[in-house]
Structures are given as C-alpha cells and as structure tokens.
Amino acid sequence: MSENTQSPRKPRVAVVFGGRSSEHAISVVTAGAVLSAIDRDKYDVLPIGITTDGRWALTADAPERMAIADRALPNVADLAESGEGGVVLSVDPANREVVLTEPGAVPKALGEVDVVFPMLHGPYGEDGTLQGLLELSGVPYVGAGVLASAVGQDKEYMKRVFVSFGLPVGPYEVIRPREWEQNPAAARKKIVEFAADHGWPLFVKPARGGSSMGITKVDDLSGLDEAIEEARRHDPKILVESLLRGREIECGVLEFEDGPRASVPAEIPPVTDHDFYDFEAKYIDSASGIVPAPIGDEATAEIQRLAVAAYEAVSCEGLVRADFFLTEDGEFVINEINTMPGFTPISMYPRMWQASGVDYSELVDRLIQAALTRSTGLR
C-alpha cells in the first residue's frame, strides 16, 4: 500500500508491458489479459507500454486491442496515447508519482503508483533490469527480484544454480560471444564433440531468450551454423542442449501467505505440425496442454517438490513456472524456470492454477496483494 495508510483511495497498479525484447508482442497479449482481470472496484489501473525502441508510453486501457488477431501481433506503438513524449517514473523512493512528458508541454502528473505488475518477457524487463529500476524507485512489484530475475533469464547460470542445489539438469554446452566471433571453428568443434557424447539432434537456442524464439532443432552438422546465427539474432550467447527423450511436464509455483505452493502439473503433448513446441505452436496454433498431467500421484508429488525446490534455489518471489522432462527412465530433469510465464487465461500457468482451485481473477489479485505486502530493498 502507499505510505499514507489512512488514504481512502484505492491502490494504484501500473501494468507495464511491451518492451525491447523479441517477446514484445507476447507481452502485450499477456498484459491485455491481466488488465481484463484486475478488479476495478478494488484497484486503480495505469497501463504503461514500453515500445520496441525503449520509450515508456501511456496507453489506452483497451484490453480488447491487445490480442493476436488473424496471426497479426499487437505492439505498444499502436496502443500509445502519448505522442513523442513518454512516461517517467521517479527514482526517488519518497516520490512514487508518475509523470507524462510531451515536447513543449508542461509535464502532467498521473498520480502515485503503489505497485507495478511487470508483464514483460525476455531481456530488458524480465531479466532484473526493470526490477532494479523499481528497487531504486522504492515501488513494490509483482514477481521475482533482481537476482532471481537475472538468473531466471540466463539459462546457463540458471542451470548452474540448479546443479549447486542438487537439482537434475540435462546435458548442455555454452558458446559465448567471443568464442564464436574470434574462433568459430573451435566453437563448432566443441559442439561436434558434445554431439559425439550425447547424440544428434541438438537444440540451439539463445541463452537469454524465451517463448521458444530463436530456437532451432539441428539434426546434423550441416544445419549448425545457420542455427547459431538464428539464435544470435536474439542473443550473442548461445546454449546448446541435447535431446531428452520423454514427456514435457510443467508445474506452477505461487506465493501464499505461508510460503510457495505448487499447482497440479500439466503435460505438453507432442506437437504434430512442428518439430518441437515452438513459438507458433505455443501462441499461434494454440497447442493445448493436458491439465492435470496423467502421471500418477507419486510422480505428481515429486514434480511439485522439485518445482518448489527450484523456486527456492533461485530465491524467487510471487510466481514461477517450472518446466521438466519426465525421461523414459522415469526421472524428472528440470529444463528451466520462467519467472514471468505466459499469463493469458489459456496459458499453461493460469490453467494449472485453475485446476488447483485458483481462478484467473483470484490469481491476478493474489499476486498484486503479495507484492503490496512486500517491501523493496534487501529482504
């Protein structure tokens, strides 16, 4: 809540979305769903979009315009109400007022913000950068803090943290920017040796990407360079993973008053029209998961334990979606966590919680309330 606890005004929630990453459009879609679900009798809402070039803009509170329509992806620029100016958030913790600036005009105060709901995916938003700004501003926010957001975005360091906490991860290799730029032959050789140990196909992906963007399934050496360049369009650091044969299982973690709890898990069935569960399968063709996953009580309890353990290992807050493989040997291997997962009503995270007894509106409200009760700073 705001510092003046006697104020009769409703808490103001700034929903921040869009951003500079390749997941800009998915962020807009997700924010539209959240804006539709926020109880306007309980909260005031301030929609703020970040354009692909980084400008913060006041946007229309129009969730119906923020959906994928006929395969066309929405963007903040089309939603912005301000012209060449932008929204400015104070970095003075004693002043939570948001200001709208326009060239040649007197800055216009938009009021104080009590909590930010950052619906940003990928770099420059989900990776600790926005969280750091909000910490400096003294504004509470939904979701993971600076460290957890950064670790949750970088798949290499995420896996290193998991290993240090005894969580099972699959084989992987990393190609850093300097390796590929200065000696691509040596980098290529490292991947070939990795494939000799673990077999083809391999998955080449941006180390700090999401929504399956920039990922290529590589069946042999001939497709490797093209896959690396595709991944590097999104991130100069590349992650190479071996194929894990088994079932894709996901589990949601949500912060409750007594600590994090895990949802019922979901299974992502094999996709028939795609090589793997890629961007189009997730968002355009609406590949549907099975909730709850038909894996039995013992396996369900184990994946719930591992999901909460991953949440705790990375020091997450608020929410996480943990993605696993259930291998042919019956073992769970954690692939990654997502500190701000897809959040439309048909996304897997809300569907898992719906099946666990927490509907979409309650889920949004619970996350806002948890953020309002947390302070910024060391905790």
The mean pLDDT of the chain is: 91
Which residues lie across from 89 on neighbouring strands?
98
| CATH number of residue 187's parent domain | 3.30.1490.20
Q: How far apart are CA 19 and CA 48, in angstroms?
A: 10
158 and 301 housed in the same domain: yes
One domain, residues 137 and 191: no
- The H-or-E segment that residue 180 falls in is helix 177-182
Closest CA to 231 of 248, 216, 250: 216
Cβ-based burial of 146 (10 A; exposed 0-12, middle 13-18, buried ≥19): middle
Q: Do 107 and 181 lie in a common domain?
A: no
DSSP secondary structure letter of residue 210? -
Specify whether 77 is located in the same domain as 54: yes
Q: Are residues 162 and 298 in the same domain?
A: yes
User: Is 90 exceeded by the pLDDT of residue 29?
Assistant: yes
- pLDDT at residue 6, rounded to an integer: 54
Average pLDDT over residues 327-338: 95
378 within some domain: no
How many domains are contained in the chain? 3
**160 within some domain:** yes
Q: How far is CA 116 from CA 16, 152, 179, 267, 375, in A?
A: 7, 19, 39, 31, 12
Do 162 and 304 fall within a single domain? Answer: yes
Same domain flag for 160 and 277? yes
pTM over 0.85: yes
- Say whether pLDDT at 56 is over 50: yes
**Within a 13 Å sphere around the CA of 246, how many CA atoms are in the beta-carbon half?**
21
- Under a CB-based contact definition with an 8 Å cutoff, are residues 119 and 343 in contact? yes
Note the pLDDT of residue 68: 81
Q: Which two tokens stand for residue 174?
A: 């990393």
In this structure, of 122-126, 155-159, 236-240, the range with the lowest mean pLDDT score is 122-126
- Is the residue at 357 inside a domain? yes
Identify which of 52, 68, 42 has the alpha carbon closest to the alpha carbon of residue 17.
52
Both 211 and 292 in one domain: the answer is no
Parent domain of 110: 12-141
Question: Does residue 358 carry a pLDDT above 60?
Answer: yes
pLDDT category, 179, cuts 50, 70, 90?
Answer: very high
For the stretch 248-286, pLDDT in tens is 999 999 999 999 999 999 999 986 654 555 555 554 444
CB–CB of 248/295 below 8 Å? Answer: no
pLDDT at 132 over 80: yes
Give residue 1's pLDDT: 44
Q: Are residues 272 and 330 in the same domain?
A: yes
Task: Judge if 75 and 59 occupy the same domain.
Answer: yes
* One domain, residues 291 and 158: yes
Q: Is residue 285 part of a domain?
A: yes
Over 90: is that where the pLDDT of 172 sits? Answer: yes
Distance, CA of 183 to CA of 62 (rounded, Å):
50
Q: pLDDT of 285-324, one tens digit each?
A: 445 789 999 999 999 999 999 999 999 999 999 999 999 9
* Residue 210 predicted with pLDDT over 70: no
Decide if 3 is inside a domain. no
Q: From 207, 226, 242, give the residue that closes a domain.
A: 242
Residue 275's pLDDT is: 57
Q: At 46, which CATH number?
A: 3.40.50.20
CB 127 within 8 A of CB 24: no
Mean pLDDT of 116-144: 95
Lowest mean pLDDT among 124-138, 150-164, 260-274: 260-274
Residues 162 and 302 in one domain: yes
pLDDT at 5 over 70: no
